[in-house]
Amino acid sequence: MQERPRSIYRIAAPIKSLARRFLYMGFVLGAFSLMLLGKVDAVLMERFRAQVTDAFAPILDAMSRPVATLADVAAQIQQMVDLRAENVRLQEDRTRLLQWQSVARRLEAENKTLRGLLNYLPGPDAGFISARVIADTGGAFVHSIVLNAGARDGVVKGQAVITGDGLVGRITGLGRRSSRILLITDINSRIPILVEQQRTRGILAGDNSDQPRLIHLPPGATVTPGARIVTSGHGGAFPPGLPIGVVTSVSDGGIKVEPFISRHRLEYVRVVDFGLERVVQLPQPAAKKTGKQVP
C-alpha cells in the first residue's frame, strides 16, 4: 500500500517539473498570439476585451465595495471629529455671547436709570430712504457720486448718507429725480469728529485721497493708530456716533484715517433724515421777481 503513492509521486514529479519549465514560455507565446490577433482583426480583439471586462466586472465590483465602505467609514469618522471640534467652538462662542448679553442688559438698565436722573429727552427716530448709486463723478479734483433718488422721493439737501459700514457723506446737490453726494474724502468735506476712545474732538478734512486727515485737534492730544473715529454731532450737520473709520498712520505729515466705506464699492446707500432741519438752516430757493414785494 505504501509503494503505490511512492510510484505515483515518481511519475507526477517529472510532469510537474516539465509544466513549470514551459509555463512561462506558454504565457509569452499566448501574449504574442493575442498581439498578432489584435493587429489582424482589431474588431474581434475589441469584442473579446469587452467580454473579458464584462466577465470580471462583478468580481471587481465586489472587491471595490469593501474599499469604498472603508473610505465612507473614514470620512464619517473625520466628519464626527470635525463636528466635535465645531461643537466645542460653538459652546465657547455661546458662553462668550451670554457674558456679553449679561453686560449689555446691565448697561441697558444703568443707562435707563441715568437717563431718568438726567431727565434725558431722546431725539426723534430717524427715517431713511434707500437709493442706488447710478454714477461716480469722482476724479482727481472731486469726490462725489449720484443717486437715483431726489426731491420727489423726499430727499433733502444736507441729509446724511450712510451704509451699514459707516458714513458716506451728505447731500449737496438736489434734483427732482436725482441727488449728488459729497463724499467724506472730498477736499471740500469738513466733519466734526470724536476719537472714540479718548473722546478727543477734531475735524476730519478730506483731501481728495482715499484717506482723509484729522485736523484742529486740541494741543497735546495723543492719537494712536487703530483708534476709531465717529461723528461728534457738533454743528448739527450730523448726529453723534456715526462710524467713520480708523486711524491708520500718525506722522509729521498728519494723521490719516481709513474710512469704513470705499466709494469704488458703493452700490446702495441710505439717505437718513435725523430731524436736523431745525438745527441746520438750509438755504431756501430765491423768490421770483414779479414786481410784488414778497412779505
The answer on pLDDT for 54 being more than 50 is: yes
Check if the beta carbon of residue 204 is closer than 8 Å to that of residue 214: yes
| Residue 12, pLDDT score | 64
| Residue 293, pLDDT score | 38
Which is nearest to 135 in space by CA: 165, 173, 188? 173
Between residues 118 and 143, the one the model is more confident about? 143
Judge if pTM exceeds 0.85: no
DSSP conformation letters of 216-272: SPPTT----TT-EEEE--TTSSS-TT-EEEEEEEEETTEEEEEES--GGG--EEEEE
Least confident of 6-10, 116-120, 153-157, 163-167: 6-10
Which pLDDT band, with edges at 50, 70 and 90, does 153 fall under? very high
The answer on pLDDT for 149 being more than 80 is: yes
| Residue 117, pLDDT score | 79
Check if the beta carbon of residue 224 is closer than 8 Å to that of residue 146: no
The answer on pLDDT for 137 being more than 70 is: yes
Q: What are the chain's domains?
A: 128-273 (2.40.10.340)
Q: Mean pLDDT score of the chain, rounded to an integer?
A: 81
Please give the Cα distance from 184 to 138 (Å, whole number): 12
Please give the Cα distance from 210 to 182 (Å, whole number): 14
The answer on pLDDT for 1 being more than 70 is: no
Which pLDDT band, with edges at 50, 70 and 90, does 291 fall under? very low
The answer on pLDDT for 220 being more than 70 is: yes
* 12-46: pLDDT as tens digits: 666 666 666 677 777 777 777 767 766 666 666 67
* 157-168: pLDDT as tens digits: 999 999 989 999
